[in-house]
Amino acid sequence: MATDRVYLSPPHMSGHEQAYIQEAFATNWVAPLGPNVDAFEQEFCEVVGARYAVALSSGTAALHLALRHLGIGPGDEVLVSTLTFSASVNPILYQGGYPTFIDSETDSWNMNPALLAETLHQRAQQGKLPKAVILVHLYGQSADIDPILAVCQQYGVPLIEDAAEALGATYKGKTPGTSGIAGIFSFNGNKIITTSGGGMLVSDDEALISHARKLATQARDPAPHYQHSEIGYNYRLSNILAGIGRGQLQVLEDYILARRANFAYYREELSDLPGIAFMPEAPWGRHSRWLTVITIDPAQFGADRETVRLALEAENIEARPVWKPMHLQPIFAGYEAVGGDVAETLFANGLCLPSGSNLHPKDRERVVKIVRCCNTI
Ligand SMILES: *Cc1c(COP(=O)(O)O)cnc(C)c1O
């Protein structure tokens, strides 16, 4: 990656990764299985507090396997947060199902539990419940899991947690991603820890994980010859990349502190500006501040978020608007949205600032200076 550009959330190698990679080469475990894969799964379980895990080629693959295991199929409805990345939704369509989008609440920017409860209640009255709920934990902050889990249990609808952005966050002492039937994590290059690309599916349900493991390796039946009685995928993580993950996992806590320090700096330096606000830290846990996200009220600030983004871009600094809600995406036009105003306002005004755990203090200062320059009121 070009070194002069300031990225939103670039990879940050710790120095611990090489030893695992070299060991894989020395022992010729250059394969989509091996000791690093097994150890990464085990170490990850300990970090997040899950019983079982399967390491996969991406977070999207993890979500797909969770839906597949739960039997989501053609014509099935799945409720999902509207404020998210499309990867939270695409696997529903891979399975032939369809999404219904639920708006955010303002405490955490994540799924509004009251809207979810209303929707489930209404579906129950109509006599057709959704097949699953996908709850997204955005930007390093947990959603309000308890009321969401309670209403899902009330109606017997399985809860899948998309914790791709939330490794290192907490919810009442637990890790988001470990309360539902299954949780997914991502190790894409821009996440809090990375394997260049990769993901993890976790669950306390042993049958779910062993089925996912089978599906991820072309669904081979236990037989000496190649035999298949269901459709599988090639979704396993390589032993080399799992080695990177093991090295990254060792420094997770340091990286969270570094990202939270970025946030603290930005807040210190920018919160006096009119019209600038920060993504709140909900009272139920720790926000990892995977990304620092601000909102800009153009009427008070004198410039909108796009003006600020372009001012940063002109200095070769990457900033990004908040996720464009799924119910506004051309590809998902025609699916129902329950509410949507909160997510739409966050998209209109929200801007993600450079937040890497390796962000240089000088670059952070440049960001602050440019944002302050845009303030014309
Ligand atoms: C990154 C991300 C994913 C997908 O993870 P990949 O490993 O890139 O497939 C899913 N959901 C959310 C919210 C994400 O940010």
Do the bridges between strand 350-353 and strand 276-278 make them parallel or antiparallel, or are there none, so unpaired?
Answer: unpaired
CA distances from 239 to 16, 23, 39 (A): 15, 10, 10
The number of the ligand 1 atom at minimal distance from the alpha carbon of 62 is 9
Ligand 1 pocket test, candidate residues 85, 236, 291, most atoms within 8 A of CB: 85
pLDDT tens digit sequence for 2-43? 569 999 999 999 999 999 999 999 999 998 889 999 999 999
Q: Which residue do the tokens 């020395």 mark?
A: 26
Question: pLDDT band for position 1 (50/70/90)?
Answer: low
Residue range of the domain that includes 111: 17-249
pTM: 0.97
Tokens of 8: 């939103």
> Residue 51 sits in a domain of what CATH number?
3.40.640.10
Compute the average pLDDT of residues 267-287.
98
Residue of the CA atom closest to atom 2 of ligand 1 = 164
Q: What is the pLDDT of residue 122?
A: 98
pLDDT tens digit sequence for 304-336? 999 999 999 999 999 999 999 999 999 999 999
Co-location of 259 and 360 in the same domain: yes
Q: What's the domain count of the chain?
A: 2
Question: pLDDT band for position 142 (50/70/90)?
Answer: very high
Co-location of 315 and 333 in the same domain: yes
Alpha helices, DSSP H, located in the chain: 17-26, 35-48, 59-69, 90-94, 113-126, 145-155, 206-216, 239-249, 252-270, 298-301, 305-314, 341-349, 361-374
Give the pocket of ligand 1 (CB within 6 Å).
58-60, 84-85, 87-88, 136, 162, 164-165, 186, 188, 199
Report how far ligand 1's centroid is from the alpha carbon of 210 (Å). 22
Task: State the Cα–Cα distance between residues 63 and 11, nearest whole angstrom.
Answer: 23
Task: State the Cα–Cα distance between residues 10 and 196, nearest whole angstrom.
Answer: 10
Co-location of 202 and 350 in the same domain: no
Boundary residue ending a domain (220, 249, 278) = 249
